[in-house]
Amino acid sequence: DAGVTQSPTHLIKTRGQQVTLRCSPISGHKSVSWYQQVLGQGPQFIFQYYEKEERGRGNFPDRFSARQFPNYSSELNVNALLLGDSALYLCASSLDVGDEQYFGPGTRLTVT
């Protein structure tokens, strides 16, 4: 079975631009979570969705938003990009809320 997939793999954007990152969960998984990982640190929780509803939100500004589609895939949007948004963005899926989370390969975002 395919694991969690994310696209694109790498992305370079300019300050002030907007970006959309995509994630497809493992087949059968209904929960998707997003994390931001800055170099040298552990991942920080951004959002969690289950059955298309937001179930958790981390301490990130309103420039960050996400949604989950009927097929359980998800998008993370970041508006008005700042240099500090440069990071590895990880998507994770799980069968249900609270189950072990399986991570995708991540999208590396560079903001110049």
Partner 1 sequence: AQKVTQAQTEISVVEKEDVTLDCVYETRDTTYYLFWYKQPPSGELVFLIRRNSFDEQNEISGRYSWNFQKSTSSFNFTITASQVVDSAVYFCALPIYNQGGKLIFGQGTELSVKP
Q: How many amino acids of this chain bind partner 1 (CB under 8 A)?
A: 28
Phi first, then psi: give them for residue 109, nearest 5 degrees.
-105, 125
User: Residue-wise over 33-71: b if at least 16 C-beta within 10 A, else e?
Assistant: bbbbeeeeeebeebbbbbeeeeeeeeebeeebbbebeee
Q: Is 33 in the site for partner 1 (CB under 8 A)?
A: yes
1 lies in the site for partner 1, by CB under 8 A: no
Residue from 41, 62, 83, 84 touching partner 1 (CB under 8 A): that is 41
Q: What's the farthest any 2 CA atoms get from each other in the chain?
A: 38
Least separation, in Å, of the C-beta of 23 and partner 1? 13
Give the footprint of partner 1 on this chain (CB under 8 A): 31, 33, 35, 41-45, 48, 50, 55-56, 58, 88, 90, 92, 94, 97-106, 108
